[in-house]
Structure 1
């Protein structure tokens, strides 16, 4: 049996439990959660997916993301993904949620932030082939022009709007 997720409606209410592959094939809504990692200087973690990845091989992302498991909160999923993909455990702060059209299928996408210590990052080789840190202005230039996972570009545009009025970190 494949990965189980909660199928949800347009108001993010649970309709039932399905396999994620079935949700993708049928374009049923489910839940995804992600973390934007920043360091104390305000730089953003960026990583490249392995060529062997089943989803978006070799593409870059500035998000640590994954499906929300059955019965799991968005925040718990974000923190779990941070641990699974980057080998660290840090508190996450909710920023916003949006209905993402998705490159593979639509889903509710909850966006969180975590301030992490770069030297503690120990990426999983199954999830990350390279990682580095970009300033807000470097990230703002890289995402629209680079080979980034499509859903991370959509999240970036929404995040940039959100932080446009904030002072830290500038984009």
Structure 2
């Protein structure tokens, strides 16, 4: 398999080139990612990452997503990642917000989306260890607990989503 190339962004959110994913991680380069929140009524799908993930292994997250590939439009990345991680396809994605984040050695432009889904969830075994539906109130309670292992950028995005929901 070849070197995975990702879009390299500047701090203002403009694409400035392409770099190997390994370099982006090693040097903490600015990049973009997509994060899709999957809802069913008053529930949100939450999952635990595998222990082999390159960043935040074993942590919980309520977003399906990943890094934008070189030359890939952000919207297409969101659709691709949702299908890869949770097996959800053919649903409309609603753009929510974009956050410029520098957290835990990661510098990213996080593009958040939301979708509604009542069908089956199929985990990508290399990325998702387990998953379940959680009420919005339960998610809010868990996020307030700093000891609950949750992906740092995902926590910030979820808190932003909850703030806008209120």
State if a TM-score over 0.5 links the two structures: yes
Structure 1 alignment gaps of length 5 or more:
165-171
Verify: 1:148 aligned to 2:150, yes or no: yes
**Counterpart in the other structure of 1:169:** none
Displacement of 1:148: 0.7
Verify: 1:139 aligned to 2:145, yes or no: no
CA distance in 2, matches of 1:103, 1:70: 23
On the 8 A contact 2:7/2:70 being kept in 1, the answer is yes
Say if 1:121 and 1:75 are closer, same or farther in 2 by CA, change over 3 A.
same
| 1:80-106: CA deviation from partner (whole Å, max 9, x where unpaired) | 111000112122110000111132320
| 1:71-130: CA deviation from partner (whole Å, max 9, x where unpaired) | 22222111111100011212211000011113232011000001011x421111111111
| 1:26-72: CA deviation from partner (whole Å, max 9, x where unpaired) | 22211111100001x22000001122333222211111120011222
1:95-134 to 2 correspondences below 5 Å: 95-117=96-118, 119-134=119-134
Q: How many residues in Structure 1 have an aligned counterpart in Structure 2?
A: 162
TM-score by length of 1: 0.88
TM-align CA RMSD: 1.4
Say if 1:53 and 1:26 are closer, same or farther in 2 by CA, change over 3 A.
closer
TM-score by length of 2: 0.91
**Counterpart in the other structure of 1:22:** 23
On the 8 A contact 1:38/1:45 being kept in 2, the answer is yes
On the 8 A contact 1:44/1:62 being kept in 2, the answer is yes
On the 8 A contact 1:33/1:74 being kept in 2, the answer is yes
**Counterpart in the other structure of 1:55:** 55
1:75-86 to 2 correspondences below 5 Å: 75-86=75-86
State the secondary structure of the residue aligned to 1:120. coil
Structure 2 alignment gaps of length 5 or more:
none
